[in-house]
């Protein structure tokens, strides 16, 4: 009969480990998704930057062509317009790269957090398993120990010789 708590403790321990393993795998999956999202954020930013460079070349080429066809020299305000446009495009591309990197860093940090959650879930599972095994062993010991679970112990006396009533199932 005392094997029942041991078996129950073992089953609970297995359940704790399996539950922790499932939680850890879910956290690891989330980490993998976050790492993929980080790569995609960087890649998307690079594609946007390339698109912006292409747009910049076309715009600056159109400005040069317009000045060239009108016979205006590229000096003074014409050069200022080209330079200002180029600077504005460079600023835009830097902003795009920065935003992509910020998103990537955020996703990378989320991946690290998910991996920490996976490790913590496994640790909690092992502690839960150990707790279940110890509870099962304690329950088995309590059932096996003489004088427990309904077996009356001999009455105890206090220091003055007075008999202390014994509660069945509790050692005195």
Instruction: List, for residues 124-147, the tens digit of each pLDDT value.
Output: 999 988 888 888 888 877 776 655
* CA 167 to centroid of chain Cα atoms: 51
- Between CA 142 and CA 2 the distance in angstroms is 8
* Mean of the per-residue pLDDT values of the chain: 83
- Taking the mean position of all CA atoms in its chain, how far away is CA 79? 53
**What is the pLDDT, as a whole number, of residue 74?**
64
Q: Which residue's entry shows tokens 């989330």?
A: 30
pLDDT at residue number 152: 45
- Which of 128, 146, 152 lies closest to 16, judged by CA? 128
Alpha-carbon gap, residue 63 to 52, rounded angstroms? 16
74: Cα separation from own chain's centroid: 57
pLDDT at 162: 59
Given a cut of 50, the residues of the chain with pLDDT beneath it are 150-154, 170, 172
Residue 143: per-residue pLDDT: 74
Task: Say what the pLDDT of residue 150 is.
Answer: 45
Of 143, 129, 140, 126, nearest to 12 (Cα)? 129
Q: What pLDDT is stored for residue 159 in this prediction?
A: 56
Question: In terms of DSSP bridges, do strands 156-157 and 163-164 run parallel, antiparallel, or are they unpaired?
Answer: antiparallel
Res 153: pLDDT: 45
């Amino acid at each position: 009969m005392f094997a029942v708590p041991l078996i129950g403790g073992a089953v609970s321990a297995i359940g704790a480990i399996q539950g922790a393993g499932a939680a850890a795998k879910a956290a690891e999956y989330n980490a993998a998704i976050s790492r993929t999202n980080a790569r995609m954020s960087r890649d998307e930013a690079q594609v946007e930057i390339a698109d912006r460079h292409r747009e910049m070349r076309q715009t600056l080429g159109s400005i040069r062509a317009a000045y060239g066809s009108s016979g205006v020299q590229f000096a003074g305000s014409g050069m200022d317009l080209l330079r200002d446009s180029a600077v504005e495009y460079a600023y835009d591309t830097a902003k795009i790269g920065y935003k992509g990197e910020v998103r990537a860093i955020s996703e990378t940090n989320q991946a690290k957090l998910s991996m920490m959650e996976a490790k913590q879930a496994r640790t909690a599972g092992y502690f839960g398993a150990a707790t279940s095994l110890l509870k099962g062993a304690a329950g088995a010991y309590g059932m096996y120990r003489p004088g427990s679970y309904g077996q009356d112990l001999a009455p105890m006396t206090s220091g003055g010789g007075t008999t202390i009533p014994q509660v069945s199932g509790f050692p005195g």
